[in-house]
Amino acid sequence: MGFTMKFLVLIFTFLFSNGAYSEQEIDLEVNMKNTGLAYKNAVQAVDIEGFNMAIDKFITLIESSKRATFHKKPKMSLQGLDKVIEQARLAKKLANERGLDSAKPALKNIDDLRKKYHELHEPPGFFDLLFGN
């Protein structure tokens, strides 16, 4: 194998292994903060262009969150993310077909799902530990 071929193999190995590693490593906390900001921007959008940019970013961030490692109830966590994506896509469809106000119920559903699925990952409170709830 010539030097050029070895060099190319080395470069491709580095590129693909680094890409695979970076896709697996998701800082879920940072990602969720960015997701929250994108959601807030979608809710507060005053025109369809701003809404579409925010909701598209939101969907992309949620999709990337699905690659994170969930230690508690991973199946339910992924199911929750899928439900959120479904509601976000519905909100986008409604906003583009009928106007921003028609997206509000789907956006509210996203917030309700967030509250429901965050309970899976919150540490138990003092009284939960004390009384075993």
CATH of the domain at 88: 1.20.120.10
Taking the chain (133 residues) in consecutive chunks of 10 residues, what is each chunk's mean pLDDT? Answer: 52 49 67 94 97 98 90 88 97 98 97 84 57 56
Strand residues in the chain grouped as ranges (E): none
Report how far Cα 30 is from the mean position of its chain's Cα atoms: 11
Domain membership flag for residue 108: yes
Domain membership flag for residue 88: yes
Buried b (16+ CB within 10 A) or exposed e, 39-57: bebbbebeeeeebeebbeb
What is the structure's pLDDT at 20? 44
Domain membership flag for residue 13: no
CB 35 within 8 A of CB 55: no
Domain membership flag for residue 90: yes
The count of structural domains within the chain is: 1
Domain membership flag for residue 133: no
Domain membership flag for residue 14: no
Q: What's the CA gap between 103 and 94, in Å, rounded?
A: 5
Q: What's the CA gap between 99 and 116, in Å, rounded?
A: 28
Domain membership flag for residue 2: no
CB 95 within 8 A of CB 51: yes
Q: 67 — phi, psi (to 5°)?
A: -85, -5
What is the residue range of 69's domain? 27-122
What is the structure's pLDDT at 125? 59
Domain membership flag for residue 3: no
